[in-house]
A and B are shown apart, each in its own frame.
Chain A
Amino acid sequence: MNDTLLARNVLALADDSLLLGHRNSEWAGHAPILEEDIAFANLALDELGHAQLWYELHQELTGREPDETIFFRDAADYLNVQLVELPKGDWAFSMLRQYLFDAYENVLLAHLVNSSNARVAEIAAKQRPEEMYHLRHTSNWVKRLGLGAAESHRRMTAALNELWAYALQLFAPLENAQALTDANILPDPRALQTEWENQVGAHLTASALAVPAARAPRAKSRSEHTAHLRELLTEMQEVARSEVYGVEW
């Protein structure tokens, strides 16, 4: 039951992780210090790895192979939140985006490990240790940039004001997802949001960053995208689409 609905929700999880990992890979070779080049690439590798696990489950549910789903699908059919398609911005923007996403993944995965769907629970259990490390890393960074210097505080505040409403979209359910919540496959997004806002709010406040007042997500539907997604996909899919699907790379 609910396979089609579950597939769509799993695809949304996969697309979020894929595009965040993709965006963060743009820092490789350009980070503020060598150690962070390496650390941020680790975060990106983990996100791409998590995307792979979700795309594999998506394939089990739909028969569609991960690389076809990733490289031969157009922007209109991507189900990611706009948060992850935005360009990388400055270091404050990328770090804060990763932090807000990590905090979300941590509360999400804490529920998904108890999902009534065994595969969902299994995948969540694989991802959770990595996400715990992510949150520790990005929390450390947010605190230091928030409290460190006037310039870093200014940039973090600007990034937070820009990102907040985009981040709220993480809690906007896909259509008909209530059935999955009722079946204890996915958690209730409103409960998730409350947990996330409590945790994130406390840490931001401790980092001298004011939680923005916005209450409405930037976009209501995961089918709505900015022009950045099309640009991103044009580049990402260029080599794969130089041959027909099925050619081995």
Chain B
Amino acid sequence: MNDSQWARYEVFEQERAGAPHRNAGSVHASDAEMALGNARDVFVRRPNCFSLWVVPEAAVFAKTAQEVARDDWYAAPAADAPRETYLVFSKKGQPARETFVEYVGEVQAATPAHALRVALETFPPQDVFVWWVAPERRVLKSEQADAASMFAPARAKKYRMHTFYPVEPIMRELKSAQGMLDNSEKTTDND
């Protein structure tokens, strides 16, 4: 086997109860259990996480609106093919911040392409730029019982927050004392 960086798992982060799970990025891991831990260590160095999901990148069926518009991705499943639950994610609009695809709901389908077809009929497709579907059985979710040990500790590490270093008032004071303050710096923070 080649020296590998292991498989890639997509990571979905929920900032607070009730908020949708949003794709945060991905982690490399040898298996799902390790991926969930890596997701915690990579994406929860700072507070604001309520729950994490990880899913192997290979299990995600992803199409941009541009790709969906082409007709080359869909083949109908056999009528008697067994159905299973797929989670559906979409990127809606052109958000200015870091939001990418977020969880919108689930559908029952036989194949990933079928799941996407059902998703397009189930969820309003207007203004959606990216669709992702993934079978729920491939998604590993953090347990609520573990939230205290997985997510709460980040809150104690205040030194990771820039607000821990009140340097702007010192700089303003120094510049003011030396008549160096220009107008923009009199009113706003310089970062």
| A and B associate | yes
Residue of B with least CB distance to A134: B149
Minimum CB–CB distance for A74 against chain B, Å = 28
B150 at interface (Cβ–Cβ under 8 A)?
yes
- The verdict on A35 contacting B41 (CB below 8 Å), with A129-B148, A133-B149 known, is yes
* B26-34, B88-96, B171-179 - interface stretch: B26-34
Minimum CB–CB distance for B61 against chain A, Å = 25
Complex Cα spacing A137 to B30, Å: 13
- A129–B153 touching, CB < 8 Å: yes
Complex Cα spacing A105 to B140, Å: 28
Q: A-B pairs with CB below 8 Å: how many?
A: 46
* A4-12, A37-45, A91-99, A199-207 - interface stretch: A37-45
Complex Cα spacing A144 to B35, Å: 14
CB contact list, B1-25 vs A, under 8 A: 5-6
Count B interface residues, CB 8 Å: 22
Complex Cα spacing A36 to B42, Å: 9
- B29–A35 touching, CB < 8 Å: yes
Complex Cα spacing A70 to B157, Å: 20
Minimum CB–CB distance for B86 against chain A, Å = 27
Complex Cα spacing A33 to B150, Å: 21
Minimum CB–CB distance for A156 against chain B, Å = 16
B47 at interface (Cβ–Cβ under 8 A)?
no
- B29–A49 touching, CB < 8 Å: no
- The verdict on A33 contacting B37 (CB below 8 Å), with A130-B149, A136-B149 known, is no
- A42–B149 touching, CB < 8 Å: no
Residue of A with least CB distance to B27: A35
Of the listed residues B34, B38, B150, B153, the one surrounded by the most CB atoms of chain A closer than 10 A to its CB is: B153
CB contact list, B151-180 vs A, under 8 A: 152-153, 156-157
Minimum CB–CB distance for A11 against chain B, Å = 22
A194 at interface (Cβ–Cβ under 8 A)?
no
A234 at interface (Cβ–Cβ under 8 A)?
no
In-complex Cβ contact of B157 among A39, A45, A136, A137 (8 A): A45
Contacts of A197 in B (CB 8 A): none
In-complex Cβ contact of A46 among B38, B40, B153 (8 A): B153
In-complex Cβ contact of B156 among A36, A38, A49 (8 A): A49
Complex Cα spacing A129 to B146, Å: 9
Q: How large is the interface on A (under 10, 10 to 19, 20 to 34, 35 or more residues)?
A: 10 to 19
A223 at interface (Cβ–Cβ under 8 A)?
no
A158 at interface (Cβ–Cβ under 8 A)?
no
In-complex Cβ contact of B28 among A35, A129, A133 (8 A): A35
In-complex Cβ contact of B45 among A36, A42, A49, A140 (8 A): A42
Residue of B with least CB distance to A144: B30
A154 at interface (Cβ–Cβ under 8 A)?
no
- The verdict on A35 contacting B149 (CB below 8 Å), with A45-B157, A126-B156, A137-B37 known, is no
In-complex Cβ contact of A33 among B5, B148, B149, B153 (8 A): B5
- A130–B153 touching, CB < 8 Å: yes
A236 at interface (Cβ–Cβ under 8 A)?
no
CB contact list, B31-56 vs A, under 8 A: 33-34, 37-38, 40-42, 45
5 inter-chain pairs at a CB distance below 8 angstroms, sorted by A residue, are: A35-B29, A38-B41, A38-B45, A45-B157, A129-B149
Counting from the closest, the 3 A-B pairs by CB-CB distance are A39-B41, A133-B149, A132-B149
18 further A-B contacts with Cβ under 8 Å, apart from A33-B28, A132-B149, are A33-B5, A35-B27, A35-B28, A35-B29, A36-B38, A38-B45, A42-B41, A45-B157, A49-B157, A129-B148, A129-B149, A130-B149, A133-B40, A133-B149, A133-B153, A137-B37, A140-B37, A144-B30
